[in-house]
Structure 1
């Protein structure tokens, strides 16, 4: 959840209480001022588990020679960990200038000079067509859903932003490129968006996490299967149970908003 869409109607007065787990309202996540303020004082935070929980999936789906675009780097160490695994051609973007400046300083201090960090909006990717082998996001698109309303029938404004992001990702991916989305968004909510007829990618996913399942979606451009085969993929969505260690982080606050909409 490291890149935020600008929301002209968000309230800049909704600032987080430093003593609370998260902001006073999940809608605060839509306010770019919130993220600038947060990144000014916060050095590091990982949404949806750290790299060790899905490292095997990264290694299975990203070659060390791949050019990678990370959407919404924030203060995550995802790019650092991929770099240590030999994936060095990485470009990170974030909407927050504060996040970009701090990320640049951190990477230089570590000697990771090959990683590029750019201030950019994921809804309007400033890259040419077919520029990257892989595009990856970890919790970034989830922010777009905080004011979606009914998750079975999300607001049109939400759908438009999600589709703008996906269209941009599809455009900048090379013909056989891969889009990786790490999220708690369940397949029955993500599938209609990912499988829009305008996209040529196939869809598969894995799960990870203790108790609550996080999802690791793999969308392969140019590999779209026939509809019958796609519908059969992972048709039984995993059940959800929460262990105590899953209830203590900010991820849980974000999840309860979405889950509440489903009732």
Structure 2
């Protein structure tokens, strides 16, 4: 199978991923676990209960298990992926695999110490025209996912987001008082940087992030008072496997 789709919009299509996972063994967006392990070790304890969102066929879960992280739950919306990964890691009894949508997490509130995602949220943004003004559809997706993540975190729990999205773009989506978390950022890589955002449940936004949220709310209020304009929020991107480098969210 040629894993590069004809149109980048297919990266949001579960049928595409089901077909891809039927033959592809492993692929790691944004590098493997070893690339950011030094950052993760400062925020995730070996005994933490961990949920990995959009696990795909990445080696990250297995690498973390080998490193001593045992209580790991993996979810992906591709049933093909979940079946293949569960079979591959059948010798890891403390790891579980479930088909699930990140916008509807089927877990009780306050279930996890850590929720981790690597490029999962990036993948839904492949058709965005501007990183400064995401479409209502993408904004809604992010809000639904982040609300669920916050709900499922224990007090003091951490949401760890690994992405290539620079702070001045991604913080616009993460800095919301209603999520009830603070935001810290780290980076790794040489030449091209990747970012690790750590949101801690129960801590307040920094004054800088709170001010960002205030400005964004004021901007939205101003826009809502004006007559709505028809805007074409679709865009064409080059059909390359490294589509993540084509967006900057």
TM-score of the two chains, using structure 2 as the length reference: 0.84
Question: Contact between 2:177 and 2:204, CA under 8 Å: does it hold in 1?
Answer: no
Question: Contact between 1:136 and 1:180, CA under 8 Å: does it hold in 2?
Answer: yes
Aligned to 1:242: none
Q: Are the structure 2 counterparts of residues 181 and 229 from structure 1 closer, same or farther at C-alpha, using a change threshold of 3 Å?
A: closer
1:148-187 equivalence runs, <5 A = 148-187=128-167
Aligned to 1:219: 199
**Structure 2 alignment gaps of length 5 or more:** 213-239
> Could you tell me which of 226, 245, 249 is aligned with 1:255?
245
**Aligned mates of 1:229, 1:161 — CA distance in 2:** 21
**Aligned mates of 2:147, 2:204 — CA distance in 1:** 16
Structure 1 residue 60 displacement after superposition: 1.2
Structure 1 residue 24 displacement after superposition: 2.5
Deviation per CA, 1:142-184: give whole Å up to 9, x if none: 1121123221111111100001000000000001100000011
Q: Secondary structure at the match of 1:137?
A: strand
TM-score of the two chains, using structure 1 as the length reference: 0.80
**Aligned mates of 2:138, 2:144 — CA distance in 1:** 10
Deviation per CA, 1:43-76: give whole Å up to 9, x if none: 0000001111111112111101100000011101
> Could you tell me which of 96, 100, 119 is aligned with 1:116?
96
Structure 1 residue 226 displacement after superposition: 3.9
Deviation per CA, 1:184-242: give whole Å up to 9, x if none: 1111111121111212111111111231111111111111244247779xxxxxxxxxx
Question: Contact between 2:124 and 2:138, CA under 8 Å: does it hold in 1?
Answer: yes
1:4-153 equivalence runs, <5 A = 18=2, 22-108=4-90, 111-153=91-133
In the alignment of these two chains, the number of paired residues is 222
- Please, what is the CA RMSD of the aligned residues? 1.9
Question: Contact between 2:18 and 2:78, CA under 8 Å: does it hold in 1?
Answer: yes
